[in-house]
């Protein structure tokens, strides 16, 4: 739920007045957002309501759909701290071209020291050069970021 909330907060300017579908392998997140809350977890209900209100306030039509974990292999492995032996990244040249068009962000949210596209990066595991560990553990408010 926090990943959905932070992603929508981070990209809200680009998602204003759009129909947006978020895919997740977490059926609880799907149910809580699509039903605008739930009864089993007060915290999840509060987060779901924040997501729904943020979407409504920005004119977004938000829908959350389930993607089976077996089809979400890379994201599932990353969320469990397993390194995918086929990890890949865009080339620096491609990133630079994107940054020229969209603007150069301040921080690379989901990187390793080996594949970071920006000097400031967040890593899943401790690294002495990492700005922060676990990009989902802190707010993205007013953060110009590359994900």
**Do residues 64 and 24 make contact, with C-beta atoms less than 8 angstroms apart?**
yes
Q: Determine which helix (DSSP H) or strand (DSSP E) holds 24, and give its type and residue range.
A: strand 19-24
β-strand partners of 122: 132
The tens digit of pLDDT for each residue in 65-106 reads 888 776 666 566 555 555 556 567 888 899 999 999 999 999
The tens digit of pLDDT for each residue in 42-67 reads 899 999 999 999 999 999 999 998 88
Domain ranges of the chain: 1-85, 88-147
pTM for the full predicted model: 0.51
Q: Tokens 């990890």: give the residue.
A: 87
């Amino acid at each position: 739920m926090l990943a959905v909330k932070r992603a929508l907060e981070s990209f809200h300017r680009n998602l204003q007045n759009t129909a947006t579908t978020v895919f997740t392998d977490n059926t609880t997140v799907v149910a809580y957002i699509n039903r605008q809350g739930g009864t089993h977890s007060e915290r999840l209900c509060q987060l779901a309501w924040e997501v729904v209100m943020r979407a409504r306030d920005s004119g977004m039509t938000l829908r959350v759909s389930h993607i089976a974990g077996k089809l979400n292999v890379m994201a599932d492995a990353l969320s469990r701290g397993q390194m995918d032996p086929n990890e890949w990244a865009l080339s620096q040249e491609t990133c630079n071209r994107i940054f020229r068009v969209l603007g150069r962000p301040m921080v690379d949210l989901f990187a390793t020291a080996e594949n970071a596209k920006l000097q400031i990066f967040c890593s899943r595991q401790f690294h002495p050069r990492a700005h922060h560990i676990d990009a989902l553990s802190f707010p993205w408010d007013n953060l110009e970021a590359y994900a």
